[in-house]
Amino acid sequence: MSKDRSEVLMEYLLTRGFVWPSFEIYRSMVEVGGFYDYGPLGVEVKRNIVEKWRRIFVYPYQDIIFEIETPIIMPEIVFQASGHLEHFTDYIVECMKCGRKYRADHLVEEELKKRGINIRTEGLSERDIEKLIIEHEIKCPQCGGELSKVYKFNLLFRTTIGPYSNNVGYIRPETAQGMFVTFPRIFDLAGRKLPFGVAQIGRVGRNEISPRQGLIRLREFSQMEIELFFDPKDPRCPFLDDVRDVKIRLTTEDEVKKAVKEGRDPTPMELTPREIVDRKIVPNEWMAFYMALAMTFMNELGIPVDHQYFLAKLPEERAHYAACAFDQMVLSERFGWIEVSGLAYRTDYDLSRHEKFSGRELRAERRLDRPVEIEVVRVYPNPQKIREVFRDKAREVMKLIAGLREEDARRLARGEKIRIGEYEITPELVFLKVERKKITKEKFVPHVVEPSFGIDRIVYVTLEHAFTLVDSDKILLRLPPDIAPIKVAVLPLVRREPLTSIGASIARELARRGLKVLYDDDGSIGSRYSRCDELGVPIAVTVDDRTVEDGTVTLRDRDTRIQIRAKISDIYSIVRSVIEEKRDLVNVGRELGLEVIERT
C-alpha cells in the first residue's frame, strides 16, 4: 500500500466510525497510547468476525468444545502458578537525563536501523541488549542522554482486590488462565472424557511500555482462544479428515533456522494437515487441525491464501509455556507480516503448575492395558497438631489435606514436607497409611493445544484487505456480506411521497428482524450508491415509482452493481440467503425467476 492509500484508509476508519484512539479529548494531557475505541461500524465488524470464529471453531464441535466466560481480574496466585509473574516481561531502559523509558529491544532495533544495521533482538538476554547499547553508543533519542542498565518490566496490570492492600490481583494477559483454573468444572460437564476443549472470547490487558502501531499493539484488546485438552498417549484428532483438503502454508523450525543463518526471509511451503502430521512438523494432530481451521477462517474473511502462512517459533522465541509454537502471519500492506493468531502446544505445563499451587488434582484417567498393583498412601489430618501450628487457619489446612494429590501424599510418606499455596505441611501434621491396591486405570495431567486469536488485529487486516480504491479515488469496501457492518440499505429513488414512507417502513421492518439497516434519502441515487459502496453495504434496496404500482423494488449487488427486481415481502429472505447462506444475490434472483438488470 502506498503511503497515500494507507493514509486514506486510516482517515476513512476514523471518520466513518470504525475505530479511533480512545480518550481523544484527554490525549494532550496524559500518555494513554495503546487504547482504541470501536465506533458503530467497528462494533458490528468485530461482532461479525467473532460470530464467524464461533461458527468455524465452536459450533460444529459443540459436543466437545465448551464456551465459557471468566473474569478479567484474577488473583495473584493464578499468575504465580502460570509463570506470568516471572516470565511475562519486556526489557526496559531509562534515560538517565530526562527520565524517559523505552522498550529496550525495540529502541536498539530502531536506532541501529537508522544507521543501516538490521538486527533481530528476539531471544536476546538483558545483558546482550545492554552490550549492544554500549557497543553502538546508543543514547536517548529524545534528549541524547545516557541510558540506564536494561531491566525487566512486568507487563501485567496490577491492582488490589477488596480493602486489604496485600490482596493483589491482575488483569489477565490471556483468557487462557480462566479456562485452566476452571478445568474441574468443565471436565465434569464433558463427562470426564478426553479430548475436550474450552473456548473463551474476551478482553485482556498487557501493559506495554510504549505501544504504537494503532490496532496492532494495544494495551487492552480482545482474544478468542481454545484450550484443547487431550491424552498425550492418544494425540489423534477425530476431525482431521474433515479438513483434509485445506492447503496449509507454513515454514518449519528448520527452514526458519536456515533462513536466519542465511539472512533471508523464510520460504513457506504448502502441505495438507495429514502431510504436516506425517512429516512430524507438529507433535500431534490437533496442531494440524487448528492450522486448517485458522486458514479457513482467514480465507472466509477475505484474506487470500498467499497472504498467510504459519511461522515456526524457535525455542528461544516461544512463550515460557510452549513446547512447540507457530504464529499465523498475515500480510498487511501497512505493517508488513503481522501475527494474527498463535498456535501453541502448552503440554501439561499450566495444569501441572495449577495442581502444584492449588493442591487440587487436575487429572484425567486412562485405562491400563492390564491391571497393575501399586502402593497407595492415604493421608489423614492430625487435628490437634494442625490446630497448634495453624490456629485459625486449621480448618482450611485440614480441608486441603483431605483433598491431597497422590504425588504429595507419597512425598509425605517419604518424610518430605510439601507446600500448598502458602502453607507448609510436614509429615508430623498427618497420619499416613500405606496400602497396596490393584488398579486398572492411571491418572495423568492432560496436554493442551491452544489456538489463540487477537481480534483487533484480525479486524484491521480484514478491513485493509476489503478496502479498495476504484477509479483511483472511489472507495469500495468489499467485505464478505456476513462481515459487513450494515447488511442492507433502503433508498427511495427520490425524496418524495409515497416513496419515502414505503422506504422507511421497509427499513423499519428489516431492522425489527435484527438487521443493521441504512435508510438514506439524501442526494442523488448515484451518490447514495457510492455511499453504500464506501460502507461496504452488500445490498441496496431501491424504492421507485414501479414499487407504488406493483410492490416490487430493486436489489443492487455491491460488487457487480447488477440489480434484481423482487417483491417487498421477499426482501428479508433474499438478504438472509446472501448473508447467512453466502449465496450470490444475482444467482438467487435468477433461481427465483426474477428480473435481472445488468449494470447500466
Site stretch for a second copy (CB under 8 A), options 72-80, 232-240, 469-477, 532-540? 72-80
**DSSP classification of residue 482:** T
Q: Quick check: 448 binds a second copy (CB under 8 A)?
A: no
Site for a second copy in 407-446 (CB under 8 A): 421-422
Give whichever of 3 and 391 is closer to a second copy, judged by the CB atom: 391
Q: How many residues does the chain have?
A: 600
Which are the contacts of 325, defined by CB distance < 8 A and separation ≥ 6? 312, 313, 318, 319, 342, 343, 344, 345
- Which of 307, 354, 447, 457 binds a second copy (CB under 8 A)? It is 354
Q: Quick check: 469 binds a second copy (CB under 8 A)?
A: no
Site stretch for a second copy (CB under 8 A), options 73-81, 229-237, 313-321, 587-595? 73-81
Q: Quick check: 360 binds a second copy (CB under 8 A)?
A: yes
Closest distance to a second copy from the beta carbon of 35 (Å): 5
Cα dist from 383 to 121, 395, 404, 415, 424, whole Å: 56, 9, 16, 19, 15
Cα dist from 19 to 41, 43, 239, 290, 474, whole Å: 8, 9, 37, 29, 21
- Which of 186, 240, 413, 597 binds a second copy (CB under 8 A)? It is 186
Give whichever of 451 and 485 is closer to a second copy, judged by the CB atom: 485
Q: How far apart are CA 352 and CA 329, in angstroms?
A: 30
User: What are the grid coordinates assigned to 275, written together?
Assistant: 502431510
Cα dist from 14 to 11, 184, 584, whole Å: 5, 45, 30
3-state secondary structure (DSSP) of residue 561: coil
Closest distance to a second copy from the beta carbon of 23 (Å): 6
One-character DSSP codes across 125-169: -HHHHHHHHHHTT---TTT-PPB---EEEE-PPEEE-SS-TT-EE
- Which of 7, 10, 11, 32 binds a second copy (CB under 8 A)? It is 32
User: What are the grid coordinates assigned to 215, written together?
Assistant: 490496532
Give whichever of 23 and 380 is closer to a second copy, judged by the CB atom: 23
Q: Quick check: 391 binds a second copy (CB under 8 A)?
A: no
Q: How far apart are CA 568 and CA 566, in angstroms?
A: 6
- Which of 1, 8, 64, 70 binds a second copy (CB under 8 A)? It is 70
Burial zone of 276 (CB within 10 Å; 0-12 exposed, 13-18 middle, 19+ buried): buried
Site for a second copy in 124-183 (CB under 8 A): 153, 157-164, 167, 169, 171, 178, 181-183
Interface characters, 523-562, with a second copy (x: CB under 8 A): ----------------------------------------
Q: How far apart are CA 510 and CA 571, in angstroms?
A: 9
Give whichever of 163 and 263 is closer to a second copy, judged by the CB atom: 163
Interface characters, 492-511, with a second copy (x: CB under 8 A): ----------------x--x
- Which of 105, 109, 174, 220 binds a second copy (CB under 8 A)? It is 220
3-state secondary structure (DSSP) of residue 353: helix
Cα dist from 483 to 73, 199, 200, 237, 538, whole Å: 31, 21, 20, 30, 10
Count of positions on this chain that bind a second copy (CB under 8 A): 94
Give whichever of 125 and 159 is closer to a second copy, judged by the CB atom: 159
Give whichever of 39 and 266 is closer to a second copy, judged by the CB atom: 39
Tell me the HSE value of 267 on the side-chain side, using a 13 A CA sphere.
Answer: 4
Give whichever of 235 and 381 is closer to a second copy, judged by the CB atom: 381
Q: Which residues of 557-568 are buried (b: 16+ CB within 10 A; e: fewer)?
A: bbeeebbbbbeb
Q: Quick check: 389 binds a second copy (CB under 8 A)?
A: no
Closest distance to a second copy from the beta carbon of 514 (Å): 6
Site for a second copy in 565-584 (CB under 8 A): 580
Nearest to 45 by CA among 481, 529, 501, 520: 481
- Which of 7, 11, 23, 384 binds a second copy (CB under 8 A)? It is 23
User: What are the grid coordinates assigned to 472, written together?
Assistant: 483511483
- Which of 121, 210, 299, 352 binds a second copy (CB under 8 A)? It is 210
Closest distance to a second copy from the beta carbon of 516 (Å): 7
Tell me the HSE value of 522 on the side-chain side, using a 13 A CA sphere.
Answer: 5
Cα torsion angle, 281, 284, 290, 296, sign: positive
Closest distance to a second copy from the beta carbon of 566 (Å): 19
Site stretch for a second copy (CB under 8 A), options 200-208, 247-255, 299-307, 546-554? 200-208
Q: Quick check: 85 binds a second copy (CB under 8 A)?
A: no
Site for a second copy in 271-330 (CB under 8 A): none
